[in-house]
Every structure is written in C-alpha cells, then in structure tokens.
Amino acid sequence: MTTTPAPVRTRTGDRAAPAAQPRRSRRRSTDGSQWIAWAFVTPLVIYLLVFYAFPLYRNIELSLHDYTPRAFVRGNAEFVGFQNYVDIFGSSSFAKAATNTALFTIGSIAFQYAAGLALAVFFRANFKLSAVLRGLFLIPWLLPMIVSASAWAWMFNSDNGIINAALRVVGLDPVNWLTSPDVALTSVIIANIWLGIPFNLVILYSGLQNIPADYYEAASLDGANAWQQFWRLTFPLLKPVSAITLLLGLIYTLKVVDLIWIMTAGGPGDTSTTFATWSYREAFGAGNPDFSPAAAVGNLLIVVALVFGLIYLQMQRKLEKQ
Amino acid sequence: MTGTRSLWKTLIALALTAVMLFPVYWIVNVSLTKTSNLRRSPPSLLPLDPTLEGYVAAFSQQLPQLGTSLLVGLGTVLLTLAVAAPASYAMATLNLKGRQGLSFILLVAQMVPAVVMAMGFYAIYLKLGMLNSLWGLILADSTIAVPFAVLLLQAFMSGIPTELLQAAKLDGSGVWRTFVWIILPLSRNSLLTVSLFAFLWAWSDFIFASTLNRSGDLIPITLGIYKFIGNNTTQWNAIMATAVIASIPAAILLVVAQRYVAAGVTAGAVKD
C-alpha cells in the first residue's frame, strides 16, 4: 500500500528514485573516478560555503557582538557574548512576539489545512471544469507577495475597504482591521490562510490520488456513506501526507515577514509582531539599524525552524521504512 | 441523476473559486477605478466606469522597475541552473561519495529564514560595496532556488535509464559530453520547472529587495510597489494597476506551464 505521495518521495532527493535505481547507479561508477564527480559538484559546494555558510557565520558573529551602524562599517564591534540573547529574552517584545508567532503559525496552518483538505476531497470528484477550477486555485500562491498583501491591505481598509462595506450592508459595525490592536493579528492570519490554501490543496490532492479507488468501491458496497468514507478511509490513509503538509507549512509560516510587514509592519505597537518581523524591524525597519539583537532573534528563529525541520526529516525516514 | 449531481458540483466549485479569487478580482477592479471613485462608499463591485489612468501612471513610473525585475529574474535562473544542473548530474549518476550529506545540507538550507540570510548578506555586501547592485540581488535571490533546484533535478536525473548512459559510454562519450548531450536534453522538463520557479521567486522577492537594494536607482518591481504605497496612499488604482502588471509572469506561468507548476509544487513543496 503506497500512501507516500510524490512530494514525500522527491523531497528526499536521492532517496526519491525507486529503491533499485540508486543501487544501479552505484555500479555505474564512471571510470571509478570520484574526482570527476566532485568537479561537477564543486560549484555547488563553493556556492553553499560562500552564500549560505558565510552569511550564517556572519549572522552568528553579529549576534555575539554589539554592532552599531558605525561599528558595522569599521568592523570594530565589541564582543559581548550572549548579552544580546539575554536582552532579547528580557525585552518587552519577547512575550508578545512569541505568542504572536505561535498564534500566527498555528492559526494559519489549522485553517489552511482544513480548507485545503476539504477542497482536495471536493475536487477529487469528477465533474465538469474540475481540473480548470482547481488550476485557478493556484493563482493566490503564484502572485507576488507584495501584490496579495497590498490587495488585502486595501480590502481591510477601515474607511474604503470592501470588507467593511460588506459588514455595513449586513448591518454590522465596521472594524479597524489593520489599525486596531485587537484584530491586527487576526487580519494578517486571514490573509495568510488565503495564501496557504493552494499549497495545502495541491499536496493533499496529490496524496488523495495515491489512495486506490477500489477501497472506496469496497466501502460503498459495505454501505458506508460519504462522511464515513472520509473519516474511516480518506483521513487515516492520508495521515502521513497530512503530517508532512502540516510540518512544511509550519516551517514556512514561521519565516513569513513580507506579508505581515506590508500589511501592518507588525503593529500597532507589537500586536502583530512575530519573531521574523521583529528581527526584520530591528535590522531594517527603523531608521537606526540594530543588527546585533536582530541577528540574535534571527538565530533563535533558525533554531525553532530547525527543530521542526528535524522532526520533518525524522518523519520522512520513518515513512520510507514503511 | 449523476448528471444533475455533477452539475451541482460544478456550480459549487464555481462559487468556491469565485470566493477564493475575489481578492484577485478586486485588484483588477480597483486598478480600473477612477481616482475620484476610490473613496466611494460602498465601493462599486463592478468597474462600471472604467479608466486606464491607473495603468498610465503605473507604466510611466514603474517601467524601469519592471525591467530590473526581469533582469534579476533571468540572472537568477541562469545562476541557479549553472550551479544546480552539474551538481545534480553528479549526485544522481556519478556515484558521488558524500551525496547523502550534501542532500541533507540542502534540505536544512531550505529551512533558513530569508530574513536571517538577508542580514548576513547585508553585512557582507556592505563591506564589499555590493549593496544596491543587480549582481548582489541575483546572488541573494538564487539562494531561494538553488537547494530546491538541486533536489528536484537530482530526483529527476536519477530516473534516467542506465542503459542510455552506458550506451553513451560505449560510444566513447565522456562524462561532460554525456552531461551536455544526453542528460540535459532528457531533463528538459525538469529544467524548465526549476527555471520557472527560480524566475517567479526572484520576481516576487521582497525581503532581499528591501534590504539589499533599498536605496539604489535600480530597484525591482516589488520594492517599486512598496514605495509607491508609502508615498502615495491616495492612488490605489495606480498601485493596483502596477500589481496587475507585476502579476503577469505568474499569469503566464499558470496558463503556459500549469502542469510544470503542479509538478514543482508536489516535488519541491517550497514556498518562501
């Protein structure tokens, strides 16, 4: 029974090919010379060292010094050890950013996933225009973030936004979506859910394709209705795909900066600030860049992302063994 | 009976699509609205009195930014392919030792938040005087695409039949010739997928643009729109017209290459 979908397999890179393939390629060892192979990989290795490892190293270094913009240019910042990290944990923004990050990721992902799954099950049925409309659902995912974010900002506009206009039509009071401390976070979560639905739809849909149709035929013969088929069949069989969709969503939602920044800039106050936007604000958001705390927040974010990333890898390994 | 049920499903699907795409429709609607009608309450649901003044403003102010984004996008595609294609070939077919470790590093690299990379790049570029340069932005943008590209290409290339490669070897074709004349042509579709994604990510990038290219003359369109919003909160029709124009690559992608997009999503599952 193969419930492992395409994304799961291909994400693992070389383990992606059917099990026999890598073994065959190993025998195929061209001229037995490793150095030719390495010659082809060298650009990538240099690339990774120069454009990943070095910026990350610089980032760690930034977080351990006290860099002012002037020291930044001169390169003579004072080494302060973990002081920046201590400052961050003691900062008044910390608790707010932590809560917001948790609410933003969990809120976004729960609704994206639920909507994505419902749509995937719905579009699984064969009906006219099914493929075309499913294709159209991809649009929000392909639009540049600045486009979607500014569209939502305008729709959420207190005075001239369509959303408040709709509320007025049904007799409700308008809401200051982006400028009220109570709802700013909710507003960016709503926009982010909208952005994430296509991704969930596509992956879950491809997971559904791998559930054999005979199962459903057998279930129908046994008299199971659509609801029972979903809970007893679809949902359990889709679990591995679901888990990976949720974890990937988590990793990518943690990193979101642009959407929040464009819509609310993390405000008002800290009310829609997450770790990612906090880091961005410290470094680039204000007139006076504060690189050292920004780097410390950023490194904290890497650690969180890596924890979930390792869970993801662990899960993949488990799935492959099955 | 199944006919009516199918019809109902189509109607529901149409309604759902309409709801989902409403913000997209709204962008187009606002882009065609006259400035004097922008503050109307309630706003008109249809562009009854359409105007192109938003597009005129967009083109007169944002054309250089569109050009910059085009250059950055194409540069990112070329750099990504140049780094990723040979490496994928070696990892997929040349029995490279250390391949597992490299794959792991690439997976982890995808988890690094762009905001952190941006800070590192900023620190380095400041020293090297590479801020506000096209090359600097191309290099930074390519970091979004390179790990994805290697993993995707490698997965594809390891599926190329061994017999083909052995036959090439028997014909006296060297490793490089095999790569250029057999692997690359056979991988055309996956190369195309990777290129489309690399282009789209570079085109849509906001974080690197707003940190590494914030005050130069050559700003990309994402930053162009952002600054436009900042300076000009009254001309939302022009902002939305620019947004429509900036979305054209995505629209083309969706129409021309929809199956590659779906393949790419499921293969890479990456959206930054």
Place of tokens 């040349």: B94
What pLDDT was estimated at residue A18?
A: 40
> pLDDT band for position A16 (50/70/90)?
very low
- At B259 the pLDDT is 73
Q: Would the pLDDT of A29 be above 60?
A: no
What is the nearest CA distance from A232 to chain B, expressed in angstroms?
23
Please choose, from the candidates A154, A191, A178, A145, the residue with its C-alpha nearest in 3D space to the C-alpha of residue B31. A154
Distance, C-alpha B233 to centroid of its chain: 27
DSSP per residue, B105-155 = HHHHHTTS-HHHHHHHHHHHHHHHT-TT-HHHHHHHHHHHHHHHHHHHHHH
Which pLDDT band holds residue A231 (cuts at 50, 70, 90)? Answer: very high
Could you report the per-residue pLDDT of B157-173, keeping only the tens digit for each?
988 888 888 888 888 88
| Nearest-by-Cβ selection for B23 from A31, A59, A155 | A155
Q: What is the mean pLDDT of residues B145-164?
A: 89
Q: Please state the rounded mean pLDDT for residues B87-95.
A: 90
CA distance A160 to A93: 32
The predicted structure's pLDDT at residue A144 = 94
Of B16, B17, B27, the CB nearest to A147: B27
A92: distance to nearest CA of chain B, Å? 21
* pTM of structure: 0.88
Q: A202: which residues sit within 8 A by CB, 6+ positions away?
A: A138, B262, B265, B266
Average pLDDT over residues A218-247: 90
Among A16, A125, A244, whose Cβ lies nearest the Cβ of B9?
A125
Taking an 8 Å cut-off on Cβ atoms, the answer to whether A54 and B120 are in contact is yes
d(CA B89, CA B176): 10
Q: pLDDT-derived band of residue B265, with 50, 70 and 90 as boundaries?
A: low
The rounded distance, in Å, linking the Cα atoms of A285 and B207 is 11
Residue to mutate among B11, B19, B40, B115, with most A CBs inside 10 A, is B115
All residues of chain B having their beta carbon less than 8 Å from the beta carbon of residue A178 are: none
Instruction: Tell me which chain A residues have a C-beta less than 8 angstroms from the C-beta of B92.
Output: 14, 25
Nearest chain B residue to A246 by CA distance is B269
Which residue has 């340069």 as its token pair? B133
For residue B91, pLDDT over 60 is answered with yes
Query: What letter does residue B220 receive in the DSSP assignment?
Result: -
The pLDDT score that the predictor gives to residue B64 is 92
Whether A127 sits inside 8 A of B95 (CB atoms) is no
E strand or H helix that includes residue A145: helix A145-155
User: What is the distance in angstroms between the Cα of A290 and the nearest Cα belonging to chain B?
Assistant: 11
User: Which pLDDT score, from 0 to 100, does residue A4 have?
Assistant: 32
User: Which tokens belong to B143?
Assistant: 């970091």
pLDDT at A75 over 80: no
pLDDT at B172: 84
What is the pLDDT at residue A302?
92
A311 band by pLDDT with thresholds 50, 70 and 90: confident
* Cβ–Cβ under 8 Å, residues B263 and B148: no
| CB neighbour burial string for A105-120, b if at least 16 within 10 angstroms, e if fewer | bebbbebbbebbbbbb
Could you tell me which residues are beta bridge partners of residue A78?
Answer: A66
Q: What number is the ipTM of this complex? A: 0.90
Distance, in Å, from the CA atom of A198 to the CA atom of A213, rounded to the nearest integer, reads: 24
- Report, as an integer, the average pLDDT of B25-37: 90
Count CB pairs under 8 A between chains A and B.
348
Average pLDDT of the segment spanning A106-113 = 97
- The mean pLDDT of chain A is 85
Per-residue pLDDT, B266: 65
- Give me the residue from B23, B109, B158 closest to A151, CB to CB: B23
Partners of B146 on chain A (C-beta within 8 Å) are 44, 47
pLDDT band at B210 (very low <50, low <70, confident <90, very high): very high
Res B98 pLDDT > 80: yes
pLDDT band at B255 (very low <50, low <70, confident <90, very high): confident
Say yes or no to pLDDT of A31 above 60.
no
Assess whether pLDDT exceeds 50 at residue A300: yes
What's the farthest any 2 CA atoms get from each other in chain A? 78
Compute the distance between CA of residue A97 and CA of residue A317 in angstroms, rounded to an integer.
33
Task: Give the model's pLDDT for residue B260.
Answer: 76
Mean pLDDT throughout A234-257?
A: 90
- Tell me what the mean pLDDT of segment B145-161 comes to: 90
From the list B20, B38, B246, which residue is nearest A147 (CB)? B246
* Residue-level pLDDT at B271: 32
Q: Do B90 and A38 touch (CB under 8 A)?
A: yes
Q: Which residue has the higher pLDDT, B6 or A100?
A: A100
How confident is the model over A238-262, as a mean pLDDT?
Answer: 91
pLDDT at A204: 93
pLDDT of A169 > 50? The answer is yes
Residue linked to tokens 């991988």: B187
- The amino acid occupying position A251 is I
Contacts of B126 in chain A (CB under 8 A): 72-73
| Per-residue confidence band for A182, with pLDDT thresholds at 50, 70 and 90 | very high
Per residue in A41-72, pLDDT (tens digit) is: 999 999 999 999 999 998 998 899 888 777 77
**What pLDDT sits at residue A15?**
37
Cβ(B264)–Cβ(B197) below 8 Å = yes
Q: Are B151 and A44 within 8 A, CB to CB?
A: no
pLDDT at position A12: 36
Whether A249 shows a pLDDT value over 80: the answer reads: yes
Among candidates B41, B103, B269 on the partner chain, residue whose Cβ is nearest the Cβ of A14 = B103
Q: What is the pLDDT of residue B29?
A: 94
Q: What is the mean pLDDT of chain B?
A: 88
**Is the sign of the CA dihedral A133, A243, A52, B92 positive or negative?**
negative
The one-letter code for the residue type at A205 is: Y
B107-123 average pLDDT score: 90
pLDDT of residue A7: 37
Instruction: Tell me the chain A residues in contact with residue B119 when contact means C-beta distances shorter than 8 Å.
Output: 55, 58-59, 62, 279, 283, 291, 294-295, 298
A119 interaction partners in chain B (CB closer than 8 Å) = 16
Tokens of B127: 């020293």
Whether B119 sits inside 8 A of A169 (CB atoms) is no
Mutation target to probe the B interface, by most B beta carbons within 10 A, among A8, A11, A130 is: A11
Q: Which residue of B has its CA nearest to A123?
A: B13
Q: Do B120 and A125 touch (CB under 8 A)?
A: no
Q: Is the pLDDT of residue B207 over 60?
A: yes
The label of the residue with tokens 């643009």 reads: B209
Least confident of A100-104, A139-143, B74-78, B229-233: B229-233
Q: Which of A137, A142, A291 is most worth mutating to test chain B (most B CB atoms within 10 A of its CB)?
A: A142
pLDDT for A285 equals: 85
